[in-house]
Structure 1
């Protein structure tokens, strides 16, 4: 059996692969690339030997594609890993070693439970603690779940891109229906596909910040959170739409501390009230049906253009648009739903 540790840093991904004796099998660095190249590299290794891939909880952008490719993926949490650098994951060497030496301590992931599988109770407790601050920030325009229920406006949002296949297909559908949307982009992907980012902006869509590597933010220090947001903001700002002031925490993961840190920087946290879990790939009809059933005036709908196979999302999108339009809804970007601190 081989063990692959997948780390990330300012420039991209590092992969270290060792065998069950700890001997090196392969190493590779993927700078300013999307997810397809590292996934393809690991798939090729899995054809030669049984392979286990290990990420840490600061890396939420690769596991979906790895699992969709049939690979086994495990997550190492902060109590499992050595100290991280100020801007990066645990090293690929350390993660490969954890796979080899401590696999039973790690969490095996599956598409149905997502990257945070096994930590739902902890995440829910962090969110519950955040309730009073959320209400205060919402009243100040610093946090949004949904807009006014009195007006027939709805916001489509797409997370985890840009992606070289999914994002253009979604943009094509939106252009055909003349619908604007908001794209919460991951810095690692935006850095890899600047032309796609510019297309999003040029076609009249709004860009928001979805962090650099899609971490669970409550695991991070204040410095790490602000580096995630700041570095991503720099890359997104180069697309021509200005540095975004709208931030969506990955997984919606937040704590009072994280929300305070974002608010202190003048950032507005954007969440959602409709989530069909398109990442679980339950089928286009099910995705569209859940959105249509749950959406109301003012809703913020969470979909994904990155993080895995999004063909079902693309297929569901026309059904969502046509059904909501038939109800008299007009699609807007999230900053048009409610007065926000932008």
Structure 2
């Protein structure tokens, strides 16, 4: 068995791979502004030689989707075993690899159907409960969006975790064919690796929004760390598109009262959703399409993914979703078109859905 630590710092991924004695199999690598696909390819080549255990921490919350989809075993280091993070990065990759070698039983194995947050259900529930009152206040003031007003047949399609060099272009092709605008919540690490894709998203009339730099679970971070994730990503996206994004989606929807307060004070509008197909769990194109179609109502914000793993099922489902909702009289708008303080206070129910 070999043990791989997968970390990040600033715009680089880091890899360290140890054998059972703690010796390096290859020299530690720092991969500057490369796509996560390159990281996965390197690990897969090593896994051909020896079974491989990959270790991440909770700030590297998107790479696990690619690793598990590729068939690699991934573990998360957190709680009392989690090492200190760097100023703008994860723990050192060497330290993560050593945790796998010496403390495997104290790590959490990540499951494909629950992702980075495997085993954290109670913690997530507690954080969401703490956020409820602040969230309601922010919805009323227009600082948080769950869905728009339920009286107009307008829907916002949103895509998280890109840009991805394989899947984002194919999704853009589908959206262009149907002349449908969408909102893409981009990760800074991915934007740094694929700036031309971010530019294409904007050039084709879609909204480019902020989804943090490395996809961490925000309640685990300090205020300084949360705002650094927001600002570094905003700077990267603005450098590509010429516009500073103020729409922000927390990874996993992870939030508590503190996080929502920090974001609002920092000029961000938090965008959540009311329709989720769980496409990241790869339930099949038919299941993805059916859930979106059946759950969508006037003003819905639909959460789908263009990055974070294999998104071929989402791409396959998208034409059926668009065609069915269009036949039902649905119009598609960028998510910012659903934000209206007066409308958020109303939340008038409607029976519009399409089976």
What's the TM-score, normalizing by structure 2?
A: 0.95
Are positions 1:237 and 2:238 aligned together? yes
Q: Secondary structure in 2 aligned to 1:15?
A: strand
CA distance in 2, matches of 1:86, 1:66: 25
Q: CA deviation at 1:79?
A: 2.8
Q: Secondary structure in 2 aligned to 1:151?
A: coil
**Aligned residue for 2:291?**
290
Alpha-carbon contact 1:276-1:302 (below 8 Å) kept: yes
Alpha-carbon contact 1:268-1:340 (below 8 Å) kept: no
Q: Secondary structure in 1 aligned to 2:116?
A: coil
Q: CA deviation at 1:30?
A: 1.3
Unpaired runs of 5+ in structure 1?
Answer: none
CA distance in 1, matches of 2:242, 2:112: 34
Assess, with a 3 A threshold, how the Cα gap between structure 1 residues 45 and 283 changes in structure 2: closer, same or farther: same
Matches for 1:100-111 after TM superposition, within 5 Å: 100-111=101-112
Assess, with a 3 A threshold, how the Cα gap between structure 1 residues 336 and 241 changes in structure 2: closer, same or farther: farther
Q: CA deviation at 1:338?
A: 2.3
CA distance in 2, matches of 1:120, 1:273: 19
Alpha-carbon contact 2:61-2:214 (below 8 Å) kept: yes
CA distance in 2, matches of 1:78, 1:84: 13
**Aligned residue for 1:145?**
146
Matches for 1:247-326 after TM superposition, within 5 Å: 247-326=248-327
What's the TM-score, normalizing by structure 1?
A: 0.98
Aligned residue pairs total: 341
Alpha-carbon contact 2:140-2:341 (below 8 Å) kept: no
Alpha-carbon contact 1:201-1:239 (below 8 Å) kept: no
Q: Secondary structure in 2 aligned to 1:213?
A: coil
Structure 1 residue runs of 4+, over 6 Å off? none
**Aligned residue for 2:73?**
72
Taking only aligned residues, the RMSD between alpha carbons, in angstroms, comes to 1.1
**Aligned residue for 2:169?**
168
Describe the superposition over 1:129-160 as per-residue Cα deviations: whole angstroms up to 9, x where unpaired. 11000010011100000000000000000000
Are positions 1:204 and 2:205 aligned together? yes
Describe the superposition over 1:155-204 as per-residue Cα deviations: whole angstroms up to 9, x where unpaired. 00000000001000000000000000000000000011110000000000
